[in-house]
Amino acid sequence: MTDTPTTTSTPKIDNIRSQIAPTWCPGCYDFIMYLGIENALKALDIPKEKVVIVYDIGCIGNMADFFKTYAVHALHGRSIPTAVGIKLANPELTVIVVGGDGGIYGEGMGHFIAWARSSVDISVFVSNNNLYSLTTGQTSPTTPKGSKTKSTPLGTSNEPIDPVPLAKTVNPSIDAVSVDGHNPIEVIAAFKSAILNKGFSLVDCRQNCVTFGKQLDS
Amino acid sequence: MPSNVFTIKIAGPAGAGIKSSGLLLSNILVRHGFNIRDYVEYPSLVKGGHNTYQVSFSKDTIYTARYQVDLFLSLQPKHWQQHQSEFTDKTIIISEDAVTAVTLKDLSTPLGSRIYENTICLAIACYLFSFDLELCKKIVSNNFGAESPNNQAFQVGFDYAKEHFASQIISTETQVATDNGQTIHDGNESFGWGFIKAGGNFYSAYPMSPSSGTLHFLAAKQKEFGIQVIHPEDEIAAASLAAGASFAGARSAIGTSGGGFALMVESISLCGAADLGVVFYLVSRPGPATGLPTWTGQGDLLFTVNAGHGEFNKIVLAPGDQQETFVLGGVALNLAAKFNIPVIVLSDKFIAESSASLPDLANQKIDQVLSTKPIPGMPGKEYMANSYEHDEEGFAIEDAEPVKVSVEKRLARFEEIKKAIPAPLFYGSKTAKKLIVSWGSTKSSILEALSLMANKDDFAFIQLTSMWPLNPGLQSLITPFKDITVIENNAHAQMLSLIKSQFDFNPQKVLLKYDGRPFFPEELVKLLNE
């Protein structure tokens, strides 16, 4: 763990890790998001029982087993509306969505756009590696045009989306940032800022898939 | 046919105020102390076409609107002509082009608009049934406001009828009834009241006929009762919102029809896997696909019972009328909280958009069963609701033995659920010669038909209320009967298949209707006597 931001208050979250060790590939940048969430929550002094994390399906969604907080490991693509339901039912909760580019920008694109237009106070953290990785490397909505993947061996034919400008198109005042997902300091700072923001926040963490990402260079 | 039941039908194009004047008429009937049951037909468009509203009323118990009409009000010419099969030789038809001719345009012109013609017709009906003029005027005034030209329109219609139709008075018996304090509720509103009274506090729905009435009803009441009412981007979101709200401790429900329900099926499976109690209020219309948006049918039974991939616990309840929709709406919320599973309330357009006079549901109580599950905010009880197969704390599992344990836990729970579901309703004598078995909205048609039959004591009737699981006691109820008739408002006899899949069940006669219309009582009398 590097460069944990200092805080003057007593962190109420001393341990949100579960007994299960992360199963991501060695070197996977999802570890940075894992530590980022842990550090941000500790630094912000939020009572553990008031944190709810809603995980999408995908490599990053497997984080569900590596923390122990109130949580929902939701259906693929449906993490945002599930989180919105939680937040609307109890506005005192700190509600975080953790998903990938497949779940949030692919299967869940309609929900992403619909709730980016809202003022519902949830923070959406996206592991955006331009690929479906848990399913072993198929094209995602952020895959560069022409990329050869397992599902598009002839090259992808669609333009990739750019999530932050897209979100700002539907909600110009939205708190949406894209950060270098390989940089823990950037990731932690962005997560903290998103959780503090009173409204819908997006942190798009750009990263490479250490196992299937190479095909994007070919 | 007993003469203590009267039926009035109003017809005209969409936008002419058929339903609003129909409901006003029903309100007048109820304030005169009548029991009412109504039925509306309308195509899926906003202006034009052919809409009808019919209401049957009686001082005695009445279960559903009759087919045969005593008074027909045609707001525009020709709108009565396609209804000849509903007329008897005593039926009075009020229309510009009928025997009892009235040129509505001449009456409405001094009032400044043709939109008052429905109120003029209403007044004619009130005159022909000898209703209390002052009471009628008060109800009309309360409905439209004291300044509304509708008040004048009512007087114009009443005076015109008095002058021209005095010889055609249908009944003077109707003067003597007294208000017994009943209120008109349609099925959608009844579900809404059941939801409110059972402590429902989160309702999400994407508009879809014929379920939208509940969305509108609860949206209008959200502040008064502290309910979150959300209209999200689609039905998938509606179901996901309700599942999330349930996790956070809300008593949540969604409302939809068949096509929207199809989109929610994955979420139903999620609720079954992740132990999330959510009520799914499904108001059927005929499918497949967009089907017949504003008509009725019972074609979603097996789909509902089987909704969701994988094997998990769910309950499907089917109310038979508006009062049962209120009660089972509450039962559904309680069962969802008790067992933390999806509970489907399967209604249809015939119940949901038809009204009944009932003791005011706003004043009725439903006991609440609360969930004992921890909810976010409780320190030290953190757990995960997981769409993956999982252990007690919610962590994902894949090893054979724990997976088997988890599956068997759900199976054991199913046995408890079977004991908690409502029992079938039994009408008539256990020694009757014949048995009718049915479910849902056909209940009211069957009971009304039986009330018309001289040989009604020949029949017993079982109405299923829990469609899944089926009540284990059903077999012993059925077995004594050798002559069994199944009645369903679908083409595939879905309840018959369902019962056969669980019990020894061999009906001799199957009466099905699948044209978007409910069974009418008179029609069932004939079919049952064939």
Q: For chain A, list the domains and their CATH numbers.
A: 30-217 (3.40.50.970)
**A:B CB pairs within 8 Å:** 142
Give the number of other CB atoms < 10 A from CB of residue B286.
25
Q: Looking at residue A10, what is its pLDDT? A: 44
Calpha distance A59→B498 (Å, rounded): 41
pLDDT of A6 over the 60 cut: no
User: Residue B382 and residue A69: Cβ atoms within 8 Å?
Assistant: yes
The phi, psi pair for B424, rounded to 5°, reads: -65, 155
* Residue spans per domain, chain B: 5-180, 185-419, 425-529
User: Residue B236 and residue A82: Cβ atoms within 8 Å?
Assistant: no
Supply the angle between the helices B187-197 and B322-339 in degrees, to the nearest 10: 40
Residue of A nearest to B388 (CA): A73
Contacts of A49 in chain B (CB under 8 A): 376-382
The 3-class SS string of chain A reads CCCCCCCCCCCCCCCCECCCCCCCCCCCCHHHHHHHHHHHHHHHCCCHHHEEEEECCCCHHHHHHCECCEEEECCCCCHHHHHHHHHHHCCCCEEEEEEEHHHHHHHCHHHHHHHHCCCCCEEEEEEECCEECCCCCEECCCCCCCCCECCECCCCCCCCCCHHHHHHHHCCCCEEEEEECCCHHHHHHHHHHHHHCCCCEEEEEECCCCCCHHHHHC
Q: Please tell me whether residue B486 adopts helix, strand or coil conformation.
A: strand
What is the DSSP code (8-state) at residue B7? Answer: E
- For residue B324, CA distances in Å to B187, B204, B278 come to 9, 22, 19
Contacts of A120 in chain B (CB under 8 A): none
Instruction: Note the Cα B431 to chain centre separation in Å.
Output: 31
Class of domain B185-419: alpha beta
Whether residue B393 lies within 8 A of chain A, CB to CB, comes out as: yes
Average pLDDT over residues A189-195: 98
Whether residue B388 lies within 8 A of chain A, CB to CB, comes out as: yes
Q: Looking at residue B421, what is its pLDDT? A: 98
Q: Looking at residue A9, what is its pLDDT? A: 44
User: Residue B376 and residue A20: Cβ atoms within 8 Å?
Assistant: no
User: What is the least distance, in Å, from the CA of B377 to any CA of chain A?
Assistant: 5
Whether residue B244 lies within 8 A of chain A, CB to CB, comes out as: yes
Q: Which residues pair with A71 in a beta bridge?
A: A53, B384
pLDDT per residue over A36-68, tens digit each? 999 999 999 899 999 999 999 999 999 999 999
Q: Which residues pair with A52 in a beta bridge?
A: A70, A95
Contacts of A82 in chain B (CB under 8 A): 240-241, 243-244, 247
Contacts of B385 in chain A (CB under 8 A): 71-73
Q: Looking at residue B3, what is its pLDDT? A: 62
Q: Please state which architecture CATH assigns to domain B5-180.
A: 3-Layer(aba) Sandwich (3.40)
Instruction: Quote ipTM for the complex.
Output: 0.95
pLDDT per residue over A18-38, tens digit each? 999 999 999 999 999 999 999
Calpha distance B193→B186 (Å, rounded): 11
pLDDT of A11 over the 50 cut: no
Q: Is A24 exposed, middle or buried, given 0-12, 13-18 or 19+ CB atoms closer than 10 A?
A: buried
- For residue B115, CA distances in Å to B17, B74, B143, B146, B162 come to 8, 14, 15, 17, 22
The CA-to-CA distance between both ends of chain B, in Å, stands at 18
User: What is the least distance, in Å, from the CA of A17 to any CA of chain B?
Assistant: 12
Contacts of B245 in chain A (CB under 8 A): 85-86, 88-89
Residue of A nearest to B247 (CA): A86
Give yes or no for a contact between A131 and A139, defined as CB atoms under 8 angstroms apart: yes
Supply the angle between the helices B133-144 and B117-128 in degrees, to the nearest 10: 160
Chain A residues contacting B, CB < 8 Å? 18, 20, 47-52, 54, 57, 64-65, 68-75, 78, 81-90, 92-93, 110-111, 113-114
Residue of B nearest to A57 (CA): B387
Q: Say whether B425-529 and B5-180 share the same fold.
A: no
Length reported for chain A:
218
Nearest CB to B384 within list A47, A50, A73: A73
Nearest CB to B376 within list A50, A64, A111: A50
Whether residue B230 lies within 8 A of chain A, CB to CB, comes out as: yes
User: What is the least distance, in Å, from the CA of B274 to any CA of chain A?
Assistant: 8
Residue appearing with tokens 């007690």: B392
User: Residue A84 and residue B241: Cβ atoms within 8 Å?
Assistant: yes
Q: Looking at residue A215, what is its pLDDT? A: 82
Whether residue B382 lies within 8 A of chain A, CB to CB, comes out as: yes
Calpha distance A162→B406 (Å, rounded): 42
Give the number of other CB atoms < 10 A from CB of residue B398.
8
pLDDT in tens, chain B (530 residues): 446 899 999 999 998 889 999 999 999 999 999 999 999 999 888 888 999 999 999 999 999 999 999 999 999 889 999 999 999 999 999 988 887 778 888 899 999 999 999 999 999 999 999 999 999 999 999 999 999 999 999 999 999 999 999 999 987 776 666 788 899 999 999 999 999 999 999 999 999 999 999 999 999 999 999 999 999 999 999 999 999 999 999 999 999 999 999 999 999 999 999 999 999 999 999 999 999 999 999 999 999 999 999 999 999 999 999 999 999 999 999 999 999 999 999 999 999 999 999 999 999 999 999 999 999 999 999 999 999 999 999 999 999 999 999 999 999 999 999 999 999 999 999 999 999 999 999 999 999 999 999 999 999 999 999 999 999 999 999 999 999 999 999 999 999 999 999 999 999 999 999 999 999 999 999 999 99
- At residue B16, what is the residue type? A
Contacts of B376 in chain A (CB under 8 A): 49-52, 70, 86, 90, 93
- For residue B455, CA distances in Å to A102, B62, B118, B432, B434 come to 65, 18, 41, 11, 11
User: Residue B377 and residue A92: Cβ atoms within 8 Å?
Assistant: yes
Nearest CB to B382 within list A48, A113, A114: A48
- A110: which 2 tokens? 């309609």
Q: Looking at residue B65, what is its pLDDT? A: 98
| Max CA pair span of chain B | 86
Query: Of B352, B310, B397, B452, whose CA–CA distance to B5 is shortest?
Result: B452
Q: Looking at residue B174, what is its pLDDT? A: 66
Nearest CB to B376 within list A70, A81, A114: A70
Which distant-in-sequence residues (6+ apart) come within 8 Å of A86 by Cβ?
A52, A54, A72, A93, A95, B244, B245, B247, B248, B376
Nearest CB to A111 within list B237, B375, B386: B237
Calpha distance B72→B454 (Å, rounded): 28
What is the DSSP code (8-state) at residue B373? Answer: S
User: Residue B376 and residue A88: Cβ atoms within 8 Å?
Assistant: no
pLDDT per residue over A76-106, tens digit each? 999 999 999 999 999 999 999 999 999 999 9
Q: Looking at residue A7, what is its pLDDT? A: 46
Residue appearing with tokens 């003791």: B359
User: What is the least distance, in Å, from the CA of A68 to any CA of chain B?
Assistant: 7
User: Residue B376 and residue A73: Cβ atoms within 8 Å?
Assistant: no
Give yes or no for a contact between A40 and A1, defined as CB atoms under 8 angstroms apart: no
Is the domain B425-529 a CATH 1.10.1240.10 member?
Answer: no
The residue of B230, B383, B384 whose CB has the most chain A CBs within 10 angstroms, and thus the best one to mutate to test that interface, is B384
